[in-house]
Amino acid sequence: MANVLSIALTVVGCLVLHAALLVWTALVLPRPVERARQRIESHPIRCFFVGLATLAATLPLMFLFFKFRDPLVVWTDNALQSLSDTLHVTRFYNDAWRLANALLWPLLAPAMTALILGGSAFAQLFAIRARPLMRDDRPLTGLAWGALCTASGYLVPFAGWFVFAPIVGLISIGAGLQALLSRAEPAKSKPRQDMERPQPVASGK
């Protein structure tokens, strides 16, 4: 029972942290997120194939890294030992393995950064679409719900794993990467009629 509870709390914690990261990105980096959102709305198929190409370029780099990781760990261990003998510095436990594996993160950084930007764009799109359905005009609440729904969609068994995650994930990577590479200012989107909230009519005396 304790193992099941710990797994459930870990999943919930990762879900909340992922949603918080999407909201933080949308608030701190509004222009790249807005560019990614506009690309999702205008060219979702192009974003999908750009994300697929990015993933296809990232996976071979990962395989090459894991193939040559053991020699890299040995070389790093020798370099650290030589540096420790020269400077008389005490080494940390398993430091060579940690330092060698840390080199994997720069290889994953473009795809992961694009995924976060694209996920924030999806959350922003959710907030815009949900605005007419909300009783109170609270954009931050809509953004938080959009981030939570986007993050939790990946965890739905079967439908989330094999449908939502591949489609939304690849579109997010493609839109986020294009937003990162583009320096153009995001176009000001014109409010659609179905997105505008009805204004209360003032009663005359």
For the whole model, what pTM was predicted? 0.81
The predicted pLDDT at position 39 comes to 94
Within a domain: residue 197? no
Among 166, 110, 116, which residue's Cα sits nearest to residue 124? 116
Chain CA centroid to CA 93, Å: 32
Q: How many domains does the chain have?
A: 1
Within a domain: residue 77? yes
Within a domain: residue 200? no
Within a domain: residue 86? yes
The predicted pLDDT at position 205 comes to 43
Please report, in tens digits, the pLDDT of each residue of the chain (205 residues total). 667 788 888 988 999 999 999 999 999 999 999 999 999 999 999 999 999 999 999 999 999 999 999 999 999 999 988 988 888 888 888 888 888 888 888 889 999 999 999 999 999 999 998 888 888 778 888 999 999 999 999 988 899 999 999 999 999 999 999 999 887 777 775 544 444 454 555 555 4
The predicted pLDDT at position 199 comes to 52
| Owning domain of residue 98 | 2-185
3-class SS letters over 8-32? HHHHHHHHHHHHHHHHHHHHHCHHH
Within a domain: residue 199? no
The predicted pLDDT at position 200 comes to 52
The predicted pLDDT at position 2 comes to 67
